[in-house]
Chain A
C-alpha cells in the first residue's frame, strides 16, 4: 500500500465497523516495512496489538501512547502527547486515533491544535494521520479519505472481514484506490 503524503496531515474517517482501523494498520505495516518508526496516540486505549501484528506492523518499532477516558482531561492529554511526539521528530508515521470519542469532546478541540500540528510536520518526513468517526481537521488536512463499508463478509458462521470503499473527500487521494478496495 502506498503511503499518505509526508509533511502533511491526512485524515481517515468513517462510521463504526467501516474498516478504517484496518487501513490504519496497513499503513503502519507499510511504514514498518520501509524501516520507519511509527507512533500511535490512542486516545481511548483501543489499539489491538494482535490485529496490528497480523497486519504486518513491527511492534518493536511502534510507540504506543494510550490514554484513558477515565482520566481527567484525557482529550487534552492525547493532543499534548501527539504534540510532543511530533516535535521529538524522527517518526515516519504518527497516528492520532480519535475514534469513539464523544461529539461533545470532539467539539471542544481548539482549532489552533491543527494549525500547530500542520506546522510541526511541514517539511519533515513525518506523516500525521488523524482517524475519527467524522472529519475533524478541516482545512489543515491535505488528504481526507472517507471509508464506507460495503458489506460484512461471512463464511458460514465465521466472520471473515469487511469489504469497504475509500472515497477521497479532499485533494486527490495518494493512496492507490484499487488497493484500498481490496478490503485488507
Chain B
C-alpha cells in the first residue's frame, strides 16, 4: 500500500520530512507531492483508515494543508491525491471505480501523450471520463496507440503497479571530532586526521580535501583522483608544516569531495611518465623544501618584458605540443635578481664591468614597454665580452647598471 500527500502550497522539505517519519521508502514525485510506502505500518498503527488519520494529524501539526490518498497502486494514489479533496482511501481492486468519475484530461501531460495527440483523439471519440477510457478494449487500444496508450489505459484502470523511485539522501563525506584536550603537537593531530580519512575513503576516489581546524578551513585540490589515504595525509602534513595553526586544536573536521576514479589505458610504445599519485607527493615535498613558486612548469607571457614568465603547476598529463625550434645558436642564463654592477663608461660606451675590462661591447639595444600600466619598464642593453671569456648582458635602467645574465 502507498500513501500520497499532495500539498502544492507546502515546502517540499516539510513534505519529505513528514513522509520520512513514516517510511524509509519515499518518492520525491513532483513539487508539492510525495508518495511513500505504508507497508508494515499496519502492525504499528492499525488499519489504513487509522494510518490516514495519523498522517493527517501529523501533517496538520506541521502546518501542511494537503490531500491524502491511500491505494495499492502508487499512480492511483497520485491521481486521487491530486484531484480528490481531503482523505481518499481506495481499497485494492477498486481503483478503477474510484478514479472513474475523473475527466480524461487529468491524465499526466507526458510528452508521449502530447506527441501522439491521444487526448484529442479520445475527445473526438466522445471518451470524457476515466471510467469510459477503462472500458475500452485493451488489445485494440494498444494496437492503435502503442506504449503510450497502454500506459494511460493502465492508469485509468489503476493497474500500473510500478515500483517507487525511492529517494536516496546524498552521501556525506564529512567527519568531525571534538578533542578532549587541546592538541599542540602535529603528530598526534595527524593520527586523528588519519583515522578520519581512513573512515571516509574506503577505496573511493577524491579530488579535494577540506581540513577544518578550530573552524578555520584549508583546502587542497588534487589534479588527479586520489584513492590512497596516505597520499592525502602526507599532503596535509606538508601543508600543516608550511602553514601551522595559530593556536592549539580543539576540533578537527575532514570533508572530501568524491569524484570518478581515474581510468587510463597505457600504450606499449608511449614513453613513460611519472605516476600521478607519486608525482603529487613528490611535488608537495619539493614545494615544502624549496617554497611555493619554485616548483612547476614555466609558462611564457605574451610580452616583450625580459624574463617574463609564470610558474604553473606541473602535470604529468600535459599533452605534448609540437615543438617549433628556432635556429638559435646560444642559450641564456639569468642572474635572479640582476646583480648591481659598477660599469665605467667612456665615449658613451661601457669599457669595464666591476673593474674587469670589456673586450667587445655591442649596443645599445634600447627597449621599453608597458608604459600604460603601473609597472612600466625602460632599459638600455649591452652585450659585453669580458676578459674572463664570458659574454654577458648588462643593462642600464633608472641611471643604474645591472648584470642580467650570461650567454652560454
Contacts and interface: CB of A to CB of B under 8 A. Distances in A.
Contacts of A35: 270-271, 320
Nearest to B330: A161
Given A89-B275, A91-B274, A159-B391, A60 B329 contact: no
A5 to B, nearest CB: 16
B334 A46 contact: yes
B60 to A, nearest CB: 65
Given A56-B324, A56-B325, A65-B290, A37 B316 contact: yes
Interface in A128-184: 149, 152-154, 157-163, 183-184
Interface in B288-312: 289-291, 294-300, 307, 309, 311
Contact of B406 (A17, A36, A49): A17
Contact of A22 (B291, B383, B408): B408
A1 B405 CA distance: 26
A65 B294 contact: yes
Contacts of B176: none
Given A56-B323, A85-B282, A61 B318 contact: yes
A63 B329 contact: no
B335 A161 contact: no
B333 A99 contact: yes
B331 interface: yes
B320 A61 contact: yes
A66 B290 contact: yes
Contacts of B275: 88-90
A81 B298 contact: no
Interface string A107-132: 00000000000000000010000000
A17 B298 contact: no
A63 B298 CA distance: 8
A105 to B, nearest CB: 16
B407 A162 contact: yes
A159 B405 contact: no
A64 B329 contact: no
B314 interface: yes
Contact of B272 (A57, A92, A184): A92
Interface in A47-71: 47-68, 71
Nearest to A53: B300
B27 interface: no
Interface in B2-48: none
Nearest to B363: A157
Given A34-B271, A77-B289, 5 more contacts: A16-B388, A49-B300, A59-B297, A152-B391, A154-B362
12 contacts: A17-B408, A22-B329, A36-B271, A48-B334, A60-B321, A61-B297, A63-B295, A65-B294, A90-B278, A152-B391, A162-B408, A163-B329
